[in-house]
Amino acid sequence: MSQWQPIETAPRDGTWILIGKPRSGPIVFTARWQRFHKKWVFFDGTKAEEPTHWHPRPSEPHS
């Protein structure tokens, strides 16, 4: 999968993904679904306000 997908299709198993909101400009963040609170959250635990799209995170570079 290499294209942005609707947020409704994003994994909700705690996987870190890229999320975006095209209407607010080219803003992309890393977030994951927090099942207990039923919301998207950033690394620091703050709520990600209504993302509309998602994309898998790229693999990390290897040395």
Domain boundary assignment for the chain: 9-56
Residue 58 pLDDT grade (very low, low, confident, very high; cuts 50, 70, 90) = confident
Structure confidence at residue 34 (pLDDT): 94
What does the pLDDT look like over 4-43, one tens digit per residue? 899 999 999 999 999 987 665 667 889 999 998 899 999 8
- Predicted pLDDT of residue 18: 94
Q: What's the pTM value of the predicted model, to 2 decimals?
A: 0.80
What does the H/E/C string look like for the chain?
CCCCEEHHHCCCCCCCEEEECHHHCCCEEEEEEECCCCEEECCCCCECCCCCEEEECCCCCCC
Query: Does the CA dihedral 41-44-47-49 come out positive or negative?
Result: negative
Does residue 46 register a pLDDT over 60? yes
Cα 3 to chain centroid distance, Å, stands at 13
Q: Answer for the pair 34, 46: CB distance below 8 angstroms, yes or no.
A: no
According to the model, what pLDDT value does residue 22 have?
A: 66
